[in-house]
Structure 1
Amino acid sequence: MRRLLRLQWPMIAVVLIFVVAFGLAAANFWRRGALLIGIGVGFAAVLRLALTDDRAGLLVVRSKGIDFATMASVAAAMVYIAWTIDPLGTR
């Protein structure tokens, strides 16, 4: 179990960010939750860029450049949407 946690810590960290984000969205703080999802994907992109393929664990899908570009694009889109969409009376 410790070996699994040591090897997959990047993915576990990203999943924990997503759990908090979905909790915020479920508690009717959906804009903050969406922003945190974008931040989580951005964090995954930075981890994918900074870590070797062996250390990045389950964040590795394709080549480092493609993974980073895809995740960074999704993160930028999520952060932009979360910041610019009208709250419509929600928090």
Structure 2
Amino acid sequence: MSGREPEASWSVDQGPRAPRPWWQLILGQWPLFVVLLGVSIGLAWVGLTHWKRGSFVIGVSFLVGMVLRAFLPAHRIGLLGVRRRWVDVCCLGLLGVGIVALALVVPPQP
């Protein structure tokens, strides 16, 4: 034993933190990954000529991002948090509701 026991938390007095491994940095971005995965699935569906279903999936993905941004703590949100919480929630909510409304209101093609 070196005589030093591991600390449960870090403080500024201990000096700079050691960098986290790359896989831990990537796994910390799971909220953004969830939203981008939903948007990708929606875009693929739009590309398969099911534009109403695809648009609906894209809108729902933005609404999921809004919920994640609204309820996850700041240290867990990762790159999904760009601005202040209320700005991100309002932007994602308006975008999601607008796209879902568009997908539901536009009549299907004959």
TM-score by length of 1: 0.92
Please give the per-residue CA displacement for 1:27-84, whole angstroms capped at 9, x wherever unaligned.
0000000000100000000000011122111111111111101111111111100001
5+ residue gaps, structure 1: none
The correspondence of residues 4-83 of structure 1 with structure 2, limited to 5 A, is 4-83=25-104
Equivalent residue number for residue 109 of structure 2? 88
Q: Secondary structure at the match of 1:3?
A: helix
TM-score by length of 2: 0.77
How many Å apart are 1:4 and its aligned residue?
A: 2.5
Taking CA–CA contacts closer than 8 Å with sequence separation of 6 or more, which of the two structures ends up with the larger relative contact order? 1
Question: How high is the sequence identity, in percent, across the aligned residues?
Answer: 28
Letter in 1 for 2:23: R
Q: What number of residue pairs does the alignment pair up?
A: 89
Letter in 2 for 1:71: L
Equivalent residue number for residue 6 of structure 2? none
Runs of 4+ in 1 over 4 A off after TM superposition: none
RMSD of aligned Cα (Å): 1.0
Query: Structure 2 CA distance, aligned partners of 1:76 and 1:3?
Result: 33
Structure (1 or 2) with the larger CA radius of gyration:
2
5+ residue gaps, structure 2: 1-21
